[in-house]
Amino acid sequence: MKNAIQLFEKKKIRSFWDDKEEEWYFSVVDIIEALTDSKNPTDYLKKLRKRDYLLGEYIGTNCPYVDMITSTGKTRKTLSANAKHIFRIIQSIPSKKAEPFKLWLAEVAKKRLDQMQDPELSIEQAMWDYKNLGYSENWINQRLKSIEIRKELTDEWKKYGLKEGLEFATLTDIIYKTWAGKTAKEYKKFKGLKKENLRDNMTNKELILNMLAELSTKEISEISNPKSFQEHEIVAERGGNIAKDARMKLEAETGKKAVSSLSTKKTLLLNKDE
């Protein structure tokens, strides 16, 4: 889990889980809106920092900018704070909600620690997050299954000592390129994405084909026991080819392209406007 939406008294608060530090970072503007009900929390924060010089200095020194998803589905650098820094900010905000918010913050932290001990709770949280963003239940089920299959594949790669980062990305690109005809970068460009997650913007059909490609790659790896990175590349292509064959047969039968320029988040925004 990285980006997530938390709810405090029906107010949405964007958050980001830092794996390295093992703590949440929350959008400062969202917190101010939740505590003050301000219609312009950005201006409220600016005035607050001017009025309280020490607070402004504290925020500038301690609060980082973190990539978070905006209401339009785009990713933006957002002023964020962890629990410790939020408590300092709350001191300067006159609000009856301050104490309930502190209790809520503690509960959010506890819930995340519980999820780290019990993976099923993380899945439940992910499902809630996707529902909150407006995804359909059918799509959510496919997406969660795709996460499970992806993890099985990366666990298989880790078993052979492959490195996260470049090696994982290279093999993933081979899988994409083979079945979809595009690398991850080309695929995102095709869908009009920038920093957004590619799989969060795949259609059900694309998710299923990609799951088939990654599941096939994992199972072929298990029986072929690749000895070198070059052999892993061959396995990735073989797995991708199984999904490619399925895609071509489906397109021949339906006359419809399986790889779509459609972005799931764009569709959600269009539906909201209707």
Is 211 in the same domain as 154?
A: yes
Give the pair of three-digit tokens for residue 30: 């969202």
Tens digit of each residue's pLDDT (9 = 90 or more) over 174-190: 999 999 999 999 999 99
Regarding pTM above 0.85, the answer is no
Tens digit of each residue's pLDDT (9 = 90 or more) over 37-72: 888 989 999 998 888 888 888 998 888 998 888 776
Q: What kind and span of H or E run contains 22?
A: none
Give the DSSP per-residue string, 59-119.
Answer: HHHH--EEEEE-TTS-EEEEEEE-HHHHHHHHHTS--TTHHHHHHHHHHHHHHHHHHHH-H
Which residues constitute the domain of residue 149?
134-273
Q: Is the pLDDT of residue 231 over 50?
A: yes
Is 166 in the same domain as 204?
A: yes
The predicted structure's pLDDT at residue 90: 84
The predicted structure's pLDDT at residue 242: 98
- Model confidence at 82, in pLDDT bands (50, 70, 90)? confident
Is 156 in the same domain as 230?
A: yes
Q: How many domains does the chain have?
A: 2
Closest CA to 174 of 258, 244, 70: 244
Amino acid code (one letter) for 239: G
**129 domain-assigned:** no
Q: Is the pLDDT of residue 1 over 80?
A: no
The predicted structure's pLDDT at residue 123: 53
Tens digit of each residue's pLDDT (9 = 90 or more) over 101-135: 888 887 776 554 444 333 444 555 666 667 766 77
The bridge status of strand 3-8 relative to strand 23-27 is: unpaired
- Model confidence at 212, in pLDDT bands (50, 70, 90)? very high
**106 domain-assigned:** yes
The bridge status of strand 65-69 relative to strand 11-18 is: unpaired
Is 70 in the same domain as 160?
A: no
